Amino acid sequence: MTNACEQLAVLAPKFKLTREKLLRARHLPGHVYSSPELYAMEKERIFMTHWLSVARVEEVPNVGDYLTFEVMNEPIIISRPNPDEISVCMNMCLHRGVAVASGCGHAKDFSCPYHAWTFSVDGKLIAAPGMKESEVDMKNARLKKLQVKIWRGWVFVNFAEDPIPFEEYMGVMEDKLWWFQSDQCKVARKAIIDVKCNWKFLVENLIDIYHVGVIHRSTFGGFVKGEKLRFNLEANGAWHTRYEARPHSKGGEQVFPTLPWATEESPGIACKAGIYPNINLSMRADSLRMWHIWPISPGETRVVCYMLFPEGASSIPNYDAEMEKYVAFVKQIIAEDAMMVESLQNASGSKFFEPGPMAPLEEALHHMENHYVDLMTA
């Protein structure tokens, strides 16, 4: 098996075709969706250097609250050591590396289940039983702390030692995302779906407007005029768009109250955006959604969909029943996509697979696929 650099060299002629202008370009070669070596390189070049949204602030509301999470097998603890601080540490004991916390909950401290070294909620080593005679100085030792940024109710982390400043990473998106006021919302539901495909197929699928009228015709496809839709393509692989559609419900009718910041807008307002590598944001007149796409292995991905509503939403009659219908609608959309991306994954490993030409409606995919080539070949 060749290493990642050798594989990229072999793929260079195919990348050249992806780099052509949209109407001449071809999609990425299947190999980038199936190679374990390129997957490992993506971890280093993309997921270990970009700002990643790993939790909601509301998931750790009180001092001592914590939850655990993994990004490409890197285990972390997200906790609230102080009323106004959220901290993210590696969930790896300083003795042998066992995870000191599991699941989520409330803790005074974390005691490692293996030999009972104890850490504060902030990750400082506070007790190491049976180590008195050790000559290794562990006085100020602590679980490795990651850089954290709170943005509109989300906890972003960066695994890099010296990451680009968050503000620079967000860039112009800060202003373009006026419609995504998720700090004024709460998570009503969180759907977690595992899909058997590479993470990039899902990221691309969520910006692929070309398929909407086809596979989603029985859910929301009929309400989106894809041919009129134009994407704004920004630096660092980001993009955003605004178009006319209908709220997410079977008949397209609006069920929940209009978002307070959208009352002056068209009732058919629909906005979507992407922040590279794995965040997709979406808005209708009455609701917000944030999608996180987490790589599990080259051919497995976890999709997390946060369904967000402002406080007033729960005041509608039959709120619980309406929310169940809404969740079922969103899950149905994901199920429709899942069948397609799993089929794409199958093709990506075939020796007969040749990347096809991009459609004019795939300009955001073109932007994203080119950004991927930039990152991997820099």
Helix (H) or strand (E) holding 82: strand 74-82
State which of residues 96, 144, 217, 225 lies at the interface with ligand FES (CB under 6 A).
96
Report the candidate in 202, 199, 207, 81 with the shortest Cα–Cα distance to residue 142.
81
CB of residue 221 to Fe ion, shortest distance in Å? 9
Burial class of 294 by CB neighbour count within 10 A (0 to 12, 13 to 18, 19+): buried
The neighbour count for residue 331, using CB atoms within 10 Å, is 14
How would you label 13-30 residue by residue, b for 16+ Cβ within 10 Å and e otherwise? Answer: ebbebbbeebeebbbbbb
Nearer to Fe ion, 286 or 337 (CB): 337
CB of residue 137 to ligand FES, shortest distance in Å? 17
CB of residue 126 to ligand FES, shortest distance in Å? 13
Nearer to ligand FES, 96 or 217 (CB): 96
Nearer to Fe ion, 106 or 217 (CB): 217
234 binds, among ligand FES, Fe ion, none (CB under 5 to 8 A by kind): none
Nearer to ligand FES, 99 or 281 (CB): 99
337 binds, among ligand FES, Fe ion, none (CB under 5 to 8 A by kind): Fe ion
Q: How far apart are CA 159 and CA 70, in angstroms?
A: 12
Binding residues for ligand FES restricted to 99-138, rule: CB under 6 A: 112, 114-117
CB of residue 337 to Fe ion, shortest distance in Å? 4
Nearer to ligand FES, 5 or 116 (CB): 116
Beta strands per DSSP E along 268-317: 269-275, 279-284, 287-297, 300-310
Instruction: Evaluate whether 197 touches 290 at the Cβ level (below 8 Å).
Output: no
Nearer to ligand FES, 5 or 98 (CB): 98
Q: What SS3 class is residue 124?
A: strand
Q: How far apart are CA 158 and CA 51, in angstroms?
A: 5
Report the candidate in 188, 150, 181 with the shortest Cα–Cα distance to residue 308.
188
Q: How far apart are CA 75 and CA 89, in angstroms?
A: 9
CB of residue 114 to ligand FES, shortest distance in Å? 4
Q: Cα angle vertex 361, ends 32, 306, to 5°?
A: 70
CB of residue 115 to ligand FES, shortest distance in Å? 3
95 binds, among ligand FES, Fe ion, none (CB under 5 to 8 A by kind): ligand FES
State which of residues 93, 224, 361, 365 lies at the interface with ligand FES (CB under 6 A).
93
Binding residues for Fe ion restricted to 307-346, rule: CB under 5 A: 337
DSSP 5: H
217 binds, among Fe ion, ligand FES, none (CB under 5 to 8 A by kind): none
Report the candidate in 312, 310, 299 with the shortest Cα–Cα distance to residue 349.
299
Binding residues for ligand FES restricted to 319-358, rule: CB under 6 A: none
363 binds, among Fe ion, ligand FES, none (CB under 5 to 8 A by kind): none
95 part of the interface to ligand FES, by CB under 6 A: yes
98 part of the interface to ligand FES, by CB under 6 A: yes
For residue 242, the number of C-alpha atoms closer than 13 Å in the C-beta half-sphere is 12
Q: Which residues bind Fe ion (CB under 5 A)?
A: 337
Q: Which residues bind ligand FES (CB under 6 A)?
A: 93, 95-96, 98, 112, 114-117
